[in-house]
Structure 1
Amino acid sequence: MGRATTTRSPDVELPDAEELERLNLSPEVAWYLLSRGIPLPDCPPRWKTPEPRTVAGAWFDPARVDKVLTAFGKLRHTQGQWAGQPLRPDPWQIAYILAPVFGWVRWDDDAGDYVRIVNSLYVELPRKNGKSTLLGGIAIYLTAADGERGAQVVAAATNERQAGFVFQPIKQLAERAPALKKHVKPYKKRIVHPKSGSYFEVVSSVADAQHGANLHGAVVDELHVHKDPELVETIETGTGSRTQPLIAIITTADKGKRNTIYDRKRRRIEQLARGVLTDTSTYGVVWCADWEDQHGEAPFLEETWRKANPGYGISPTRAYMMRAATEARQSPADLAKFLRLHLGIRTKQETRYISLESWDRNAGLVDERALAGREAYGGLDLASTSDLSALCWLVPDDNGGYDVLWRMWTPEANLEALDKRTAGMASVWVRQGHLTTTPGNVADYDWIRQQIDRDLAAFNVRSIGFDPWNATQLTNDLTAAGAPLIKVRQGFITLSPPLKELQRLLLKGTAEEPLVRHGGNPVARWCVDNLAVSLDPAENVKPDKASSAEKIDAVAAMVTAMAEAMVREPVRTSAYADENAELIVI
């Protein structure tokens, strides 16, 4: 691990660690604000990814942030009561966006200089918090002040009409800044910085994005309006030859539609913030009210407005929020709009059945060698073609708990795609031995068969549950060879009891006495964090692969194994009526 460093002033007294944690500020950023006479903001985001303090050689360079703020100060507000006034970012914008992104650097031998660590920025916040102005300032800075020769900076738009909405505010920033008149030339569809040969323009098609793509920067406003991910993904892959590119996305929340590019980006930021994935080149912050704040009077309380709107009181103003809240009281449709646009609440959101807190609390230690010869129950979840396959073993103890082992496979050709979906963690999992790659581009059942044969020899296997709908030649061969395979249908009646039992054990288990000891397997943890469930009218539950954000194969295999363990073991406690069982919604 690297050690974060910065130049500190002895005259600055930082708040204690508990207060910094409450404010969600790193010591380096807090020091910077106080050393520059900027008050510490008291509006921490709901989600914030770690700053890249652990990168080898990471250094917080205050001069870099000074340069950004100086450049912003040369711009002028173009609308409202501040029109014509210098664009001075608010303390919260500096603390949670500009300083973490532009301040953290590392030495790059190829560039022969220090370069930014963060290459991807994601900011989500409700309307009227100055996001478009902030985005425009970043775009102009990358074009004209970042010290990059021939910088190509683009903005992504879904069509020509939206391109105008994106380009015009940024063009106005450039046109109305007296300090920029001699340096920047705004044209109809392009802003040019002649001295460095750099330019900014809007692209609305993949072909435009690919044309001469050697991007230094890109900005994306309102990500949720991009129904097709191709344009944004093309832009993200066009920065390979730059030493410190930056893709900045600033958006409001969507309604909660699954598997869109917005949904994937937002979930990735949450997973980075929770530590499920790690990517020091990505930094993101999300401001929003809590899910519970949509009920009763909570949406109309000022404390809720402050929680979701870091600029509350200035932009949006109290009067503006009161008008919007008054409209929201009048109809369900207006309330849904208010929740999404002004409180950042995705109005259609899945229930989270297993919390990471309870999962992590039960990690414990698992010694596979000590489990040899023990009674075991298996669950097999086979990929139909080219994705994850999972085998889970549950080994019961004498206290109502289980030790858990997984075997997980993916085709070698799928690893690159899986890396993209896991911020590069899939390759790490392979190196750590948690995930096995098999030859070719489809699931290699021979490899899986060999592992199952080894496990049959190592454990006292009572049964291996599998989904009969996805029966394969592998399951046919294992059955013919005498392996104790049992069909476990994937409906509510079969899967609800084991899933409820899993939740019950996790809620009951403690760090001192875990009841589902899984050893902190990172692939399984990723799957748990992805898990969505379906509920029927009788409140039965089952894993829902279609609604889950990403792969849940490790959990699916575990629930199938639990179905076998519960059927064949003496029932020690009821899985159907437990006052501690609950749905956890975030």
Structure 2
Amino acid sequence: MARTKATRSDSVNLPEAAELERLKISPEVAWYMLSRGMVLPDCPPLIQTPSPGEAPGAVFDPARVDKVIQSFNLLRHTQGQWAGRPLKPDPWQVAYVLAPVFGWVYWDTDADAYVRVVRELYVDIPRKNGKSTLSGGIAIYLTCADGEQGGQVVAAATNERQAGFVFAPIKHLAEKAPALKGRVLPLKKKIVHPRSGSYFECVASVADAQHGANLHGAIIDELHIHKDPELVETIETGTGSRTQPLIVIITTADSGKRESIYDRKRGRVEQLARRVFTAHTVYGVVWAAEKADDPHDEATWRKANPGYGISPTRAYMRARSDEAKQSPADMAKFQRLHLGLRTKQETKFLLLDKWDDNAGMVDEAKLKGRDAYGGLDLASTSDLCALCWLFPNDADGTLDAVFRFWTPEDNLKALDKRTAGAASKWVREGFLVATPGNVADYDWITEQIKRDRDFFKVRSIGYDPWNASQMTNTLVAERAPMVKVRQGFATMSPVLKEIQRLTLQGTPEVPVLRHGGNPVTRWCVDNLAVAMDPAGNVKPDKANSGDKIDGVSALATAMAEVVARPPKRKSAYSDEDEIMVV
């Protein structure tokens, strides 16, 4: 079987190197497409990892790509105006997905054969760009045509209902293809290829994924709805005995949530694209607009949607754009689903980038003996507890913030699931204390407060009387300066708006609310949602926040004490120039 490192001398006139670089297409892939009579697409992804051809010993095998495309052509569209027609991959699908993934191979001495370079494919693309059809075609190819004996190919779903949505289109592809009649056996929950003994099925739990645990391929659809990384990680570890397994992640953008499995995978692709590190087995492409682009400009639609004009159609995008003009919520949805921007649908009160601008450096040793105002959030006895100390600087109107967090040791695994493993890292780095047992150990918190009282000049410690516990009663009995701080609109609105004002005012060069970049607090800030009353007052909304916001609640309670302190000069914490939700 011929293999090549294609060049301009291969009887095909390739575009200039600068043009290929602009298109983000390697010379080998361009040569392949032009030699097969295909046009080169002019819709490069916004983000793309380096070509798999950079892997040591990599060579391009055009016959392998031919085989994949021929397999696609044997399938038939099952819906819409193309129903019954051959599933012919679009040029952008060949240039940016199929040819790079299936064409690049290297000699594996253990397998005594050429095998694929790419083991993990990541495609991040807006809706209506043929995502399901592309993943379905790859799934059937891996099951029926990849030459793997006894291959197990799975699609990961978050529950049985989603499993049906994922499995049904792929089953229809197998059922409607005349060339597969008698060659595959579509069952209720499985597609079997008797000749090779391979099969395709959906899994919706770790137990399902572990069954057999000898995976040749996997399709992970809509990664952003996988709140728990465990199923995805189980699938990834189940391919160890295969010579050229392929994990395929095809997803739309998420809402910008941090410390999730989507955030981790997307972040890795972005780092690979910037060449922060190298992983030749991972290949990823992301189509999206840029934040500065006009969301209602047709050029932006084309930029973010490689299938623009066919799917999605111009009329479809125009209609979605017109909807987005009517409300901020529809605009956020349009930007995320159809422009690939990681934009939260809910209105953000604290902007994460502005929070990061205020990180600065906080040295606890230099805060010894300084006036400190505390905020305590005990929350659930089996989850996260938080304490924030604020240190006003009357000379320049800035604040330093020190945060302390605790969680029961038995809760750490659950917290890891919700943070894509970050919680254990926070414990190792000292940002989170895991206390023994399965409930909050208030003795630990009490002892830390006592140590802090000896180190700082603690003026007051605010706490929510609704969550008052024996611990707060003990501290009151020991004459700690405990102050009840109600969590309603009247108390919380002024302090949240003050926190918002300070973070918006700060810059990386001159932070105003210095917090040292505490990662647990950052997670809480990103989770924060606020409730608003008819008068425009706000308060933290734990029920509708993305996850725990205890760090923000502790900060707000401490800020209430700072705002209430007797002024020593003209207050830096006045209610002037209130800033509304942005």
Could you give the per-residue CA deviations for residues 103-135 of structure 1, whole angstroms, max 9, x where no partner exists? Answer: 899x999999999887685745222x1112111
Task: State the distance in 1 between where 2:478 and 2:98 align.
Answer: 60
Name the structure 1 match of 2:313: 317
Is this contact kept in 2: 1:43–1:306, CA < 8 A? no
By how many angstroms is 1:369 displaced?
A: 0.9
Name the structure 1 match of 2:379: 383
By how many angstroms is 1:218 displaced?
A: 3.7
Task: State the distance in 1 between where 2:118 and 2:397 align.
Answer: 47
Q: Match of 1:219, as an amino acid?
A: I
By how many angstroms is 1:273 displaced?
A: 4.9
Task: State the distance in 1 between where 2:574 and 2:97 align.
Answer: 44
Task: State the distance in 2 between where 1:269 and 1:134 align.
Answer: 20
Gaps of 5+ in 2: 9-13, 34-38, 273-278
Name the structure 2 match of 1:475: 472
Task: State the distance in 2 between where 1:383 and 1:284 align.
Answer: 41
Name the structure 1 match of 2:152: 152
**CA-atom RMSD in angstroms:** 5.2
Could you give the per-residue CA deviations for residues 520-551 of structure 1, whole angstroms, max 9, x where no partner exists? Answer: 22222222222212222111122221111122
Residues 327 and 278 of structure 1, relative CA distance in 2, 3 Å threshold: closer
Residues 283 and 199 of structure 1, relative CA distance in 2, 3 Å threshold: same
Could you give the per-residue CA deviations for residues 218-240 of structure 1, whole angstroms, max 9, x where no partner exists? Answer: 4365789x9x989x976864664
Give yes or no for the alignment of 1:166 onto 2:169.
yes
Give yes or no for the alignment of 1:78 onto 2:79.
no
TM-score computed with the length of structure 2 as normaliser:
0.73
User: Within 5 Å, which residues of 2 pair with 1:505-584?
Assistant: 505-568=502-565, 570=567, 572-573=571-572, 575-578=574-577, 581-584=579-582
Name the structure 2 match of 1:3: none
Name the structure 2 match of 1:491: 488
Task: State the distance in 2 between where 1:13 and 1:364 align.
Answer: 47
Is this contact kept in 1: 2:374–2:462, CA < 8 A? yes
Gaps of 5+ in 1: 1-6, 257-262
Q: Match of 2:575, as an amino acid?
A: Y
Is this contact kept in 1: 2:461–2:558, CA < 8 A? yes
Name the structure 2 match of 1:269: 262
By how many angstroms is 1:169 displaced?
A: 3.5
Is this contact kept in 2: 1:123–1:286, CA < 8 A? yes
Is this contact kept in 2: 1:122–1:284, CA < 8 A? yes
Q: Match of 2:131, as an amino acid?
A: K
Task: State the distance in 2 between where 1:92 and 1:218 align.
Answer: 19
Is this contact kept in 2: 1:30–1:95, CA < 8 A? no
Number of residues of Structure 1 aligned to a counterpart in Structure 2: 536
Name the structure 2 match of 1:246: 247
Task: State the distance in 2 between where 1:341 and 1:100 align.
Answer: 25
Residues 543 and 68 of structure 1, relative CA distance in 2, 3 Å threshold: farther
Name the structure 1 match of 2:276: none
Residues 315 and 514 of structure 1, relative CA distance in 2, 3 Å threshold: same
Task: State the distance in 2 between where 1:208 and 1:371 align.
Answer: 53
Task: State the distance in 2 between where 1:421 and 1:573 align.
Answer: 37
User: Within 5 Å, which residues of 2 pair with 1:58-77?
Assistant: 59=55, 69-74=65-70, 75-76=72-73
TM-score computed with the length of structure 1 as normaliser:
0.73
Task: State the distance in 2 between where 1:67 and 1:499 align.
Answer: 62
Residue 394 of structure 1: which of 386, 390, 396 is its match?
390
Residues 425 and 92 of structure 1, relative CA distance in 2, 3 Å threshold: farther
Task: State the distance in 1 between where 2:454 and 2:124 align.
Answer: 52
Give the secondary structure class of the aligned counterpart of 1:523.
Answer: helix
Name the structure 2 match of 1:259: none
Residues 444 and 69 of structure 1, relative CA distance in 2, 3 Å threshold: farther
Task: State the distance in 2 between where 1:164 and 1:500 align.
Answer: 48
Determine which structure has more spread, i.e. the larger CA radius of gyration. Answer: 2
Residue 374 of structure 1: which of 363, 367, 370 is its match?
370
User: Within 5 Å, which residues of 2 pair with 1:415-426?
Assistant: 415-426=412-423
By how many angstroms is 1:456 displaced?
A: 0.9
Task: State the distance in 1 between where 2:376 and 2:42 align.
Answer: 50
Residues 100 and 206 of structure 1, relative CA distance in 2, 3 Å threshold: closer
By how many angstroms is 1:422 displaced?
A: 1.5
Is this contact kept in 2: 1:41–1:95, CA < 8 A? no
By how many angstroms is 1:136 displaced?
A: 0.8
Residues 327 and 196 of structure 1, relative CA distance in 2, 3 Å threshold: same
Name the structure 2 match of 1:459: 456
Could you give the per-residue CA deviations for residues 353-382 of structure 1, whole angstroms, max 9, x where no partner exists? Answer: 122221121111111111111111111111
Name the structure 2 match of 1:219: 219
Is this contact kept in 2: 1:126–1:342, CA < 8 A? yes
Is this contact kept in 2: 1:215–1:238, CA < 8 A? yes
User: What percent identity do the matched residue pairs reach?
Assistant: 47
Is this contact kept in 1: 2:408–2:439, CA < 8 A? yes
Residue 356 of structure 1: which of 349, 352, 357 is its match?
352
**Segment drifting more, 184-193 vs 447-456:** 184-193
Task: State the distance in 1 between where 2:111 and 2:470 align.
Answer: 52
Name the structure 1 match of 2:411: 414
Is this contact kept in 2: 1:51–1:100, CA < 8 A? no
Task: State the distance in 1 between where 2:102 and 2:561 align.
Answer: 50
Q: Match of 1:495, as an amino acid?
A: M
Task: State the distance in 2 between where 1:497 and 1:245 align.
Answer: 53
By how many angstroms is 1:489 displaced?
A: 1.0
